[in-house]
Amino acid sequence: PPPLDLAAIRAQFPILAERIHGKRLAYLDNAATTQKPESVLRALDDYYRHANSNVHRAVHELAARATTQYEAARDRIAAFLNVTREECVFTRGTTEGINLVARSFLQPRLQPGDEVLVTGMEHHSNIVPWQLAGAKTVAARITDEGELDLDDWRAKLGPRTKLVSIVHVSNSLGTINPVAEMVREAQQRGIPVLVDGAQAIAHEAPDLRALGADFYAMSAHKAYGPTGFGVLFARREHLEAMPPWHGGGDMIRTVSFERSTWNDLPYKFEAGTPDMSGAIGFAAALDWIDSVGMARIHAHEQDVLAYGTAQLADIPELRLVGTARHKAGVLSFVMEGAHAHDLGSVLDQEGVAVRTGHHCTMPLMERFGIPATARASLAAYNGRDDIDQLAAALRKAHRLFN
């Protein structure tokens, strides 16, 4: 695709004009959450100004508008993912999606000693829910480059494996895992697969029908959409067989004190007043991604990533953590003599926003023998100038700490 027009893209993100300690903002914390374009802000504002009402439960005009917009958002999201609307369960985010699968799908089938096979690079939200459900989590080995050791993963796919759960793109390292191949191999052995797509949907166009995973969880806020909203894709036959996990309004067909019956898919899993503006905002975010083009965003981020990788190689005492061949726009690093948090504070003074810490991947940090990294992560609006600002700030930090 022709390169994206960076100035035009940036003009659509008002927050990028903020001054930080008097400096230009280099926002490099996109793996934590992305900024929102005007079109998403407008969709949220328009909804509350002109359509706000509770959905599904009234005959008045505003309720009709809210319901129409909300359900149109579901159609839009389903089309983006290439699945049916009945298979798109609305959640609060990736975390809630995984917890739903843990409680409603896994737990009822679990026998003592059963395992969930994950990888050594999982976010805590793809470890703890399985443990809470009563499963043992087994993790496949990670190489020194931060890639998944597929042979070790295959060796750990065993008779006790009840579910395979894998992160599509690592939030800490940027590693892109070969999920299509893994889905195929696990399913050939009759093992269902969940893919944690939190970091993938803003960078890779996920055709979930083609991928064929049983479950795919995502958060709107990591793909230019609002916080507090997400989608769990689940294959229809699973959703039909799974019991609801939250009870309340909207998820029922009939209620009596003796027994209740459940609503159709996906409402069976959506108890209570939903996040209408979240769904509408996410649909607007997907429109925005399509208007730029995922392939173009991907190519641009890969260019900035390559530039950043080269720039950081020149910073004294700095070591990149995670050098996988297939990587999304994440630069995780440590600097000799500097704690990650101190490094982050110096960068902040220079207007550079990065995240420091374990990034909710404590087992991965342990694997690399470090407590934390500093992490710069990219989105469509980042450019080589952000990397230059980061590199200059890192040189300053190096002079301070060494």
Smallest separation (angstroms) from ligand PMP to the CB of 134: 21
Tell whether the torsion through CA atoms of 230, 232, 236 and 240 is positive or negative.
negative
Smallest separation (angstroms) from ligand PMP to the CB of 176: 12
Question: Could you say which residues in the range 298-357 bind ligand PMP, by CB under 6 A?
Answer: none
Residue 193: DSSP 8-state? E
Q: How far apart are CA 52 and CA 199, in angstroms?
A: 30
Interacting residues of 81 by C-beta distance below 8 A, sequence separation 6+: 88, 206, 207, 208, 216, 231, 233
198 binds ligand PMP (CB under 6 A): yes
Residues in contact with ligand PMP, shown as a per-residue x/- string from 134 to 173 under the rule CB under 6 A: ---------------------------------x---x--
Q: How far apart are CA 14 and CA 188, in angstroms?
A: 48
94 binds ligand PMP (CB under 6 A): yes
Among 25, 348, 30, which Cα is nearest to 199's? Answer: 30
Smallest separation (angstroms) from ligand PMP to the CB of 159: 28
CB 393 within 8 Å of CB 315:
no
Comparing CB distances to ligand PMP, the nearer of 223 and 352 is 223
219 binds ligand PMP (CB under 6 A): yes
The size of the interface with ligand PMP (CB under 6 A), counted in residues, is 14
Comparing CB distances to ligand PMP, the nearer of 55 and 364 is 364
Q: How far apart are CA 121 and CA 118, in angstroms?
A: 8
88 in active site: no
Q: Determine which one of 32, 180, 205, 360 is catalytic.
A: 360
196 binds ligand PMP (CB under 6 A): yes
Strand partners, 217: 196, 232
123 binds ligand PMP (CB under 6 A): yes
12 binds ligand PMP (CB under 6 A): no
Strand partners, 139: 118
Interacting stretch for ligand PMP, rule CB under 6 A, among 58-66, 155-163, 192-200, 389-397? 192-200
Percentages helix, strand, coil for the chain (3-state, rounded to 5) are 45, 20, 40
Smallest separation (angstroms) from ligand PMP to the CB of 126: 6
Token readout for 261 is 């019956």
Strand partners, 232: 89, 217
30 binds ligand PMP (CB under 6 A): no
Interacting residues of 64 by C-beta distance below 8 A, sequence separation 6+: none
Applying CB under 6 A, among 30, 34, 69, 95 the residue interacting with ligand PMP is: 95
206 binds ligand PMP (CB under 6 A): no
Count of Cβ atoms closer than 10 Å to residue 190 Cβ: 7
Count of Cβ atoms closer than 10 Å to residue 220 Cβ: 34
Applying CB under 6 A, among 74, 76, 87, 93 the residue interacting with ligand PMP is: 93
Applying CB under 6 A, among 125, 161, 277, 389 the residue interacting with ligand PMP is: 125
Residues at the site binding ligand PMP, with contacts judged by CB under 6 A: 31, 93-95, 123, 125-126, 167, 171, 196, 198-199, 219, 360
Query: Which residue numbers are catalytic?
Result: 360
